[in-house]
Amino acid sequence: MRRMILTAAGLCAALLAAVPAGAAAAADAQPSVVSADPVDWTPHVLDGTVRAIAVVGDEVVVGGDFSRVRSADGGTELARSGLFAFRLGTGALSTAFAPQPNGTVNALAAGPGGTVYVGGSFDRIAGGGHHGLAQLSVSDGAPVPDFTSPGIDSGTVSTLAATGNSLYAGGTFGAVGGTARPALAKLSGRTGAVESGFDAHLAQQRSGRLRVSTLALSGTGELAIIGTFTRVGGQTRNQLAVVSAATGAVRDWYTDAYRPDCNQAYNSYLRGIDFAPDGSWFVVVATGHEAGPSTMCNAAARFDLGGAGAHDPTWVNRTGGNTLLSVAVTGAAVYVGGHQRWLDNPYGNKSAGAGAASRPGIGAIDPDTGKALPWNPTHDRGVGVDALVPYPAGAGYPGGLLVGSDTEHMGHEYHARIGAFPLS
């Protein structure tokens, strides 16, 4: 059985190498649920929070607001302000990749030719001026010369997605490189120039500032977005919309599930979104204070893309009052992270209701039934798990799931702020 799983994982790696970076959710397909025993080789992030992870070949790029990292064996400790890289399978820290941004890294996306796109609140990175957005070589941390980093006006980049020669950026900005693009822009992945044919026309934030907080590409031509908006392309879309990845035209697909407030303090309570490997459905995770069997607060929900018009969720898995922050869909499982204590808990309110499944910090949900899977490695809760990223098999190691957070223990072991669960 182990031999069959590794062979399938190797096939996933070959498929990943055959498509452009970030081109399809299918690259994240995995044949089984990962082990509950984390690998021993991931390095430790000694302070702050890991907010973003990208896999570029056999290198893992990690972003956030930390300042120091240490190898798993304790032999190497490096100053790394907000950004570093390490090798899959060994955890070896890159001594050449040290861009040292002067602000928080919120988002990463793998780029072509061994590069990574970096988004955040910085205005300097790799020794040069780059307001909120840059493309770097993973081998040495140098800026890619052809990518001119057009600059984000008076805002920050919260999320990135990349496919082929296209880069999508979401955040709190109003324009990119002088071109008006409220909260969402499509750029040339080679030059950074704004793609004039794409405009989703986001508007009418619920409160506060207009913001796109998370993006997900289907691999089949769809871009799902979550944020503070209530209008997209002139149509009512509350916090969640699906648009054409080519033009930004809003799709005739919507849900009213997120129209009600969870808590007036949140101008958006949606926190993460990810497509299934075949692009036909996605899962949204949310925060909020209200709890109960009918609320969409503090819950993971699956939505199918088939058909037009209004859509209800296929299933909803509620935590009973605790935040979910991140989600990764691999086909075998829907992994969710946050600072939740339970899944399967619609009748709890900061407590375990009837049928609640203990899943502190991290858990896995059956993609078809919406019920918690037995996988329960546990994770320190803290603020919560911000990043969940599947990775493919490579030479000498199976594929698995990378986990980034603000805490120090997962799978009952010390793994400070970054760790990985392998396919077994």
Q: For residue range 68-81, what is the model confidence (pLDDT) as tens digits?
A: 999 999 999 999 99
Domain ranges in the chain are 1-98+392-424, 200-385
Distance CA 135, CA 154 (A): 20
Instruction: Give the chain's mean pLDDT.
Output: 92
Per the structure block, which two tokens stand in for 411?
Answer: 């799978």
User: 26: which DSSP letter?
Assistant: G
Per the structure block, which two tokens stand in for 386?
Answer: 């911000």
Cβ atoms 18, 26 nearer than 8 A: no
Per the structure block, which two tokens stand in for 344?
Answer: 């399967």
Give the closest residue to 139 by CA, choosing from 108, 99, 101.
Answer: 99
Cβ atoms 177, 194 nearer than 8 A: yes
**For residues 298-302, average pLDDT:** 98
Give the closest residue to 133 by CA, choosing from 59, 192, 180, 57.
Answer: 192
Per the structure block, which two tokens stand in for 419?
Answer: 């760790």
Cβ atoms 330, 354 nearer than 8 A: no
184-188: strand order across its sheet: 157-163, 166-171, 184-188
- Is residue 264's pLDDT more than 90? no
Amino acid at 209: R
Q: Determine the pLDDT at residue 26.
A: 57
pLDDT tens for 208-255 read: 999 999 999 999 999 999 999 999 999 999 999 999 999 999 999 999
Per the structure block, which two tokens stand in for 330?
Answer: 């691999």
Strand stretches in 88-156, DSSP E? 105-111, 115-120, 124-125, 128-129, 133-137
Least confident of 29-33, 42-46, 291-295: 291-295
pLDDT tens for 3-12 read: 233 333 333 3
CA atoms within a 13 Å half-sphere pointing along the CA-CB vector of 346 = 12
Cβ atoms 398, 25 nearer than 8 A: no
CB environment 30-60: b (16+ within 10 A), e (fewer): bbbbbbbebbebbbbbbebbbbbbbbbbbbb
pLDDT tens for 87-138 read: 999 999 999 999 999 999 999 999 999 999 999 999 999 999 999 999 999 9
Cβ atoms 15, 26 nearer than 8 A: yes
- Is residue 321's pLDDT more than 60? yes
Give the closest residue to 53 by CA, choosing from 382, 359, 45, 122.
Answer: 45
